[in-house]
């Protein structure tokens, strides 16, 4: 790979505090064979080595690659025809989607992420549908897509063995099936239960995947553990996956209290929140990332802080699916580490982490002069070094420091500074407030250029888009038509099952989260 010098008007090395960072003006990063060996002023470094290539100019800001810590698919549910609905309804609307090839789907997703400056992704992939077995071939296809894209990936097969689609204050799938007409109830049960695979068999199926990447590790690939959600896993499966993560020294990513209905289900089932149930199982720890965490209580936040749990904040998805707004200000007040993710429903229906940063920056600005929202520096830290830790890459990436991996993004400053930007404005603030994905010019992962001049070097976009178009233009299969028909027929019953379950709130016009 050789030695490369990457230069810019600014080099963002690392965030050091809520309003402080190490930033070099007229700086440069020197990388050799994928590792950063020097960071300094361009004038001091430009003649120090015999470079194979010098990338960048004074028109760029050089910064760490972004980390998307919560991503599921390439083609979005909206592209599949599912409108934005509350999560509990949305899951059934998505049943109308055609099946897609996991390789093409995630290669398409990788292309979108690279073009918005994302170099690392936590891929939370459903390797099989319904009660079916874990599909190792599908998992390998997803990993291969990211391997070919050049991205860094933390792959986690999402695993469940109960209540895969629906929970609420009135129960889960069994209770919902009881309110359906006999024929619909039978069809619903055939899709979702009752014969889920025992937890021991699920763990045995996935252990082959974990052991493979544990024994023969690849620097840009991690395999992590992802119990889908507390209510979707038996206690045996949760404990077994906790033990599996400890055995293979890998991280855990679990959806948690994304909606109020999930919280209410926990109160109905365990007489406590799902988070407190996890605590009872000795599940929590610094290797655990809780996705969403919108409807956590004050007690939940204290418990997460005591175990040094990470939170992955998915602001766009939570707004689009009417889930609420996670209490990020309180997370920060309690010392929780936060990462950012696009989930399946980014604000622009893409995987733009720059847009996700800006939304996360602005959505927590509660009224009043005595409340401090997250700063641009804190948001940038969430999207870089915090995401790196949360995705099990530790401190290898997320900063531009000597000894770290050369995951580097060059953002063009022309649109950000044109026609005028006060020179006293921090470059961190400028990137988060004014940067756009179209400004991302060049992307390197482990020193390798995977996008140059906005052209991907590992993916032929024209061929990829044509293959995706051909894949999706086919006629639906009988199974797909049956799923669509079932989804349409049970939709009216879903509202009746869920409505009226929310506790009254007479203190606010809008109801986004709760303290207890």
Per-residue pLDDT tens for 246-282? Answer: 999 999 999 999 999 999 999 999 999 999 999 999 9
In whole angstroms, what is the distance from residue 257 CA to residue 299 CA?
Answer: 13
Using the 8-state DSSP alphabet, how is residue 491 labeled?
A: H
In 369-415 the beta strands, taken as DSSP E runs, fall at 408-412
Report, in this order, helix, strand and coil percent for the chain, each rounded to 5. 40, 20, 40
Q: State phi, psi for 244 to the nearest 5 degrees.
A: -65, -45
Residue 466 domain flag: no
Number of domain units in the chain? 2
Residue 476 domain flag: no
Residue 163 has pLDDT above 80, yes or no: no
Pair 70, 341: CB distance under 8 Å: yes
Pair 382, 338: CB distance under 8 Å: yes
pLDDT score for 188: 87
Q: What is the pLDDT of residues 103-135, one digit of tens each?
A: 999 999 999 999 999 999 999 999 875 456 678
Residue 233 has pLDDT above 80, yes or no: yes
CATH number for the domain spanning 24: value is 2.30.40.10
- Please tell me whether residues 441 and 387 are part of one structural domain: no
- Please tell me whether residues 381 and 448 are part of one structural domain: no
245-259 exposure pattern, b = at least 16 Cβ within 10 A, e = fewer:
beebebbbbbbbbbb
Residue 483 domain flag: no
pLDDT score for 130: 47
Give the pLDDT band (50/70/90) at residue 504. low
Mean pLDDT of 309-317: 98
- Please tell me whether residues 361 and 237 are part of one structural domain: yes
Token pair listed for 253 = 């990513």
Residues whose CB is less than 8 angstroms from the CB of residue 481 and which lie 6 or more positions away in sequence, other chains included: none
| DSSP helix/strand/coil, 191 | helix
Q: Calculate what percentage of the chain has a pLDDT beyond 70.
A: 96
186-206 exposure pattern, b = at least 16 Cβ within 10 A, e = fewer:
ebbeebbbeebbebeebbebb
Residue 515 domain flag: no
Pair 12, 21: CB distance under 8 Å: yes
Q: State phi, psi for 52 to the nearest 5 degrees.
A: -75, -30
pLDDT score for 229: 95
Residue 217 has pLDDT above 60, yes or no: yes
| DSSP helix/strand/coil, 219 | coil
164-173, 214-223, 286-295, 436-445: least confidently modelled range: 164-173
pLDDT score for 494: 86
pLDDT score for 132: 60
- Please tell me whether residues 348 and 280 are part of one structural domain: yes
CATH number for the domain spanning 191: value is 3.20.20.140
Last residue of one domain, picked from the residues 364, 393, 422: 393
- Please tell me whether residues 35 and 153 are part of one structural domain: no
Residue 444 has pLDDT above 90, yes or no: yes
Give the pLDDT band (50/70/90) at residue 463. very high
pTM of the model: 0.95
- Please tell me whether residues 38 and 146 are part of one structural domain: no
120-129, 278-287, 398-407: least confidently modelled range: 120-129
Q: For all residues of the chain together, what is the average pLDDT?
A: 93
Strands 310-313 and 448-452: unpaired
Residue 497 domain flag: no
Last residue of one domain, picked from the residues 393, 425, 443: 393
Residue 347 domain flag: yes
Pair 153, 123: CB distance under 8 Å: yes
Q: What is the pLDDT of residues 136-158, one digit of tens each?
A: 899 999 999 999 999 999 999 99
Residues of the domain holding 13: 3-64+402-456
Residue 28 domain flag: yes
Last residue of one domain, picked from the residues 429, 456, 483: 456
Start-to-end CA distance of the chain, whole Å, equals 54
Q: For the purposes of burial, counting CB atoms within 10 Å of the CB of 477, is it exposed (0-12), middle (13-18) or buried (19 or more)?
A: exposed
In whole angstroms, what is the distance from residue 391 CA to residue 407 CA?
Answer: 15
- Please tell me whether residues 377 and 408 are part of one structural domain: no
In whole angstroms, what is the distance from residue 168 CA to residue 179 CA?
Answer: 14
Residues whose CB is less than 8 angstroms from the CB of residue 359 and which lie 6 or more positions away in sequence, other chains included: 315, 316, 319, 347
Partners of 53 in beta bridges: 4
Residue 421 has pLDDT above 80, yes or no: yes
Rg (CA), the chain: 23
- Please tell me whether residues 223 and 313 are part of one structural domain: yes
In whole angstroms, what is the distance from residue 406 CA to residue 120 CA?
Answer: 12
- Please tell me whether residues 55 and 73 are part of one structural domain: no
Number of alpha carbons in the 13 Å side-chain half-sphere of residue 389: 19
Q: What is the pLDDT of residues 367-381, one digit of tens each?
A: 888 888 999 999 999
Residue 468 has pLDDT above 60, yes or no: yes
Give the pLDDT band (50/70/90) at residue 311. very high
- Please tell me whether residues 14 and 136 are part of one structural domain: no
- Please tell me whether residues 387 and 447 are part of one structural domain: no
Mean pLDDT of 421-449: 98
- Please tell me whether residues 386 and 419 are part of one structural domain: no
pLDDT score for 499: 77
Q: What is the pLDDT of residues 181-202, one digit of tens each?
A: 999 999 988 877 655 678 888 8
Residue 214 domain flag: yes
């Amino acid at each position: 790979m050789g030695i490369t010098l990457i230069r810019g008007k600014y080099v963002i090395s690392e965030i050091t505090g809520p309003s402080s960072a190490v930033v070099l003006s007229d700086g440069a990063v020197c990388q050799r064979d994928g590792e950063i060996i020097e960071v300094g002023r361009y004038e001091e470094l430009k003649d120090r080595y015999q470079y194979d290539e010098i990338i960048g100019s004074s028109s760029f800001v050089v910064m760490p690659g972004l980390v998307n810590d919560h991503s599921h698919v390439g083609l979005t549910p909206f592209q599949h025809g599912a409108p934005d609905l509350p999560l509990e309804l949305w899951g059934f609307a998505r049943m109308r989607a055609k099946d897609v090839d996991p390789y093409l789907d995630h290669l398409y997703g990788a292309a979108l992420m690279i073009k918005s400056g994302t170099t690392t992704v936590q891929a939370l992939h459903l390797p099989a549908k319904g009660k079916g077995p874990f599909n190792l071939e599908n998992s390998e296809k997803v990993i291969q897509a990211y391997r070919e894209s050049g991205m860094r990936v933390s792959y986690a097969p999402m695993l469940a063995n109960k209540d895969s689609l629906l929970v609420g204050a009135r129960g889960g799938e069994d209770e919902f099936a009881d309110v359906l007409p006999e024929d619909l109830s039978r069809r619903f049960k055939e899709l979702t239960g009752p014969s889920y695979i025992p937890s021991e068999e699920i763990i045995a199926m996935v252990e082959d995947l974990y052991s493979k990447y544990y024994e023969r590790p690849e620097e840009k690939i991690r395999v992590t553990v992802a119990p889908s959600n507390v209510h979707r896993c038996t206690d045996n499966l949760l404990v077994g996956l906790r033990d599996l993560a400890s055995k293979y020294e890998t991280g855990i990513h679990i959806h948690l209290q994304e909606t109020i209905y999930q919280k209410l289900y926990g109160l109905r089932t365990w007489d406590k929140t799902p988070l407190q149930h996890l605590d009872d199982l000795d599940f929590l720890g610094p290797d655990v990332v809780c996705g969403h965490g919108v409807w956590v209580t004050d007690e939940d936040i204290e418990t997460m802080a005591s175990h040094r749990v990470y939170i992955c904040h998915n602001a766009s998805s939570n707004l689009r699916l009417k889930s609420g707004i996670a209490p990020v200000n309180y997370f920060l007040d309690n010392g929780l580490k936060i990462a950012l993710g696009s989930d399946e429903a980014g604000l622009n229906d893409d995987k733009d982490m720059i847009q996700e940063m800006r939304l996360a920056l602005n959505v927590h600005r509660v009224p009043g002069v005595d409340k401090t929202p997250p700063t641009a520096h804190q948001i940038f830290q969430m999207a870089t070094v915090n995401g790196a830790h949360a995705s099990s890459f530790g401190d290898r990436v997320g900063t531009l420091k000597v000894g770290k991996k050369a995951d580097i993004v060059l953002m063009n400053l022309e649109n950000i500074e044109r026609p005028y930007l006060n020179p006293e404005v921090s470059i961190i603030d400028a990137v988060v407030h004014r940067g756009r994905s179209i400004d991302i010019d060049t992307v390197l992962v482990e020193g390798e250029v995977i996008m140059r001049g906005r052209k991907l070097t590992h993916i032929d976009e024209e061929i990829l888009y044509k293959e995706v178009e051909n894949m999706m233009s086919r006629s639906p299969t009988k199974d797909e038509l049956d799923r669509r028909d079932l989804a349409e027929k049970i939709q009216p019953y879903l509202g009746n099952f869920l409505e009226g379950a929310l506790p009254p709130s007479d203190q606010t016009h809008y109801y986004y989260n709760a303290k207890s």
